[in-house]
Amino acid sequence: MGTSLYGQKKTYDVVSFTLPKEWNQSQNEGGIQLSTSDKNDGTYALVVITKATLSNESVLESFDNEWEKLLEGTVKIDGKPIKKPKTNKNGWDIISGSANYTDGNNKGLATLLTAAGGGQKVSVVLMTNSKKYQDDLISFLNSLEIKKVDNVITKPNTNVNTNQNSIVGLWTDYILETSGVSFNGNPQYTSGYLRKEYTFYKDGTYIFRNKQWLTKAKNISFVYESGTYSVMGNKIIITPKKGEEGWWSKKSNNTKLWGSVVSISKSKLEPKTYFFEIKYFSGSNSSSLILKSNKTDEVLGNYKYREDNTSIIDNPPGFKKT
């Protein structure tokens, strides 16, 4: 549900701004959207502010990747963006660029601002199909402030001491499903989701769960695995002991309900070794567990620490923990 409060400085993650008069605000897991429109003539303007995410890219690399994901992935862009010279504010390198776009019958101007610093990146997207919102957008840009960059703390150190306690807790990767289409340049979310998580216990055991409820899939998929783990320096060795994976039918097309079991099979149990690091962001008081291949530097998992230790993955009816 959107809100229409304005005139006061607001903060989302590491970005502060002033909401233009009579604009609406809504939020999802990936960011915040500010918007206004005129139903009489079909004009609109919107702003999307993303949540700061982990990144070791340069600001130019981040800008190019964000442009491809946030703009080229949602609307038809007419040519390459015209970029402005890099600036620096509060420890962040910042690049902005603009280009015209086509979204159905609408034509407009899209602008992207991307900031990178301290192992993080954050972006702001502005889109409009009318010059009538120019003053609002300029006022918004002038109100933008970005918090002084947090130096990302990475732990544990690469020593040989076992440090089990460094990863104890619930680590989650919860993603909302998108439809692959956009409305006014904004990705449209379905009711579906992809959720996976690791729970590491103090006694050296763990549980892994993965539930996927996708709108175009006939059934719900669910994976459950349990076993032991050990930490040596910046390596974690995960040794599964038991595991099952299966499919359940949907019930009334309700994302919160389970139907009947379709099939269940034993999982292939193989030890896995990852390089890992835990990154802490003081600004948002949050931590991420990054799992990387032990052979390459490829990131294989990015899990957020869940402070309240509460999972939103539910087990299928009658499921017995292995």
**Domain boundaries, given as residue ranges, for the chain:** 9-149, 164-305
Tell which residue, 217, 220, 215, 218, has the closest CA to residue 190: 215
The model carries a pTM of 0.54
In tens digits, the chain (322 residues) has pLDDT values of 334 445 678 998 899 999 999 899 988 767 899 999 998 998 999 999 998 887 778 899 999 989 988 888 778 898 899 999 999 998 899 999 999 998 777 889 999 999 998 878 899 999 999 999 999 999 999 999 998 876 554 444 333 333 455 789 999 999 888 765 555 555 566 788 999 999 999 999 999 999 999 988 999 999 999 999 999 888 999 999 999 999 999 999 999 999 999 999 999 999 999 999 888 776 667 889 999 987 777 888 889 998 888 899 999 987 776 5
Q: Are 18 and 137 in contact (CB under 8 A)?
A: no
The 10 Å Cβ neighbour count of residue 8 is: 7
Length of the chain: 322
CATH superfamily, with its number, for domain 9-149: Mog1/PsbP, alpha/beta/alpha sandwich (3.40.1000.10)
Contact 72, 87 (CB under 8 A): no
pLDDT at res. 156: 40
Q: What are phi and psi of 148, to 5 degrees?
A: -50, 135
* The pLDDT of residue 188: 65
The encoded tokens of residue 246 equal 């299966």
Q: Note the pLDDT of residue 13.
A: 87
Specify the pLDDT at position 7: 61
Write down the pLDDT at residue 110.
94
CA dihedral 227, 228, 234, 235 (to 10 degrees): -70
Cβ distance 82 to 25 under 8 Å?
no
Give residue 249's pLDDT: 96
The two three-digit tokens of residue 66, written as one number: 């964000």
Q: Residue 128: what pLDDT?
A: 94
For residues 49 and 71, give the distance between their C-alpha atoms in angstroms, rounded to a whole number: 13
Looking at residue 106, what is its pLDDT? 80
Distances (CA, A) of 132 to 31, 110, 167, 220, 241: 25, 15, 51, 46, 63
